[in-house]
Homo-oligomer: A and B are copies of this chain.
Amino acid sequence: MINIEEIRSAAVRLKGHVRTTPILNSPFLDEIAGKNIFVKAESLQHTGSFKFRGGWSAISAMTEKQRKNGVVAISSGNHAQGVANAARAFSTKAVIIMPKDAPALKITNTKKLGAEVILYDRTNQNREELGAKISKERNLTLIKPYDEPLVIAGQGTCGLELATQCKDLNISNAEVMVCCGGGGLTAGVALALEKEAPDYLVRTVEPERFDDVAKSLKAGKICRNKSMNGSICDAILTPEPGKVTFPIMRKLCGEGLTVSDEECMRAIYFAFIRLKLVLEPGGAAALAAALFHSEKINSDNIIIIATGGNIDKETFAAALTNYN
Contact = CB atoms under 8 A, between A and B. Distances in A.
A277 B271 CA distance: 11
A276 B44 contact: yes
A21 B316 CA distance: 24
A28 to B, nearest CB: 7
Contacts of A112: 28
A78 to B, nearest CB: 12
A265 interface: no
B19 A21 contact: no
Contacts of A276: 43-44, 48, 277-279, 309-310
B22 A272 contact: no
Interface string A96-118: 00000000010001001100000
Interface in A263-305: 269, 272-273, 275-279
A27 B310 CA distance: 15
A24 B314 CA distance: 24
Q: How many copies does the complex hold?
A: 2
A305 to B, nearest CB: 15
Given A278-B278, A317-B317, A320-B316, A273 B105 contact: yes
A313 B319 CA distance: 10
* Interface range, A side: 20 to 34
Contact of A320 (B43, B109, B309, B317): B317
A20 interface: yes
A281 B113 CA distance: 29
A321 interface: yes
A69 B269 CA distance: 37
A57 to B, nearest CB: 20
A272 B320 contact: no
Contacts of A277: 44, 276-278
A21 B20 CA distance: 10
Contacts of A21: 22
A317 B309 contact: no
Contacts of A105: 273
A105 B19 CA distance: 31
Contacts of A113: 27
A113 B26 CA distance: 11
Contacts of A43: 276
7 contacts: A19-B24, A22-B22, A24-B44, A27-B113, A269-B313, A272-B278, A276-B279
Interface of A: 19-22, 24, 27-28, 41, 43-44, 48, 105, 109, 112-113, 269, 272-273, 275-279, 309-310, 313-314, 316-317, 320-321, 324
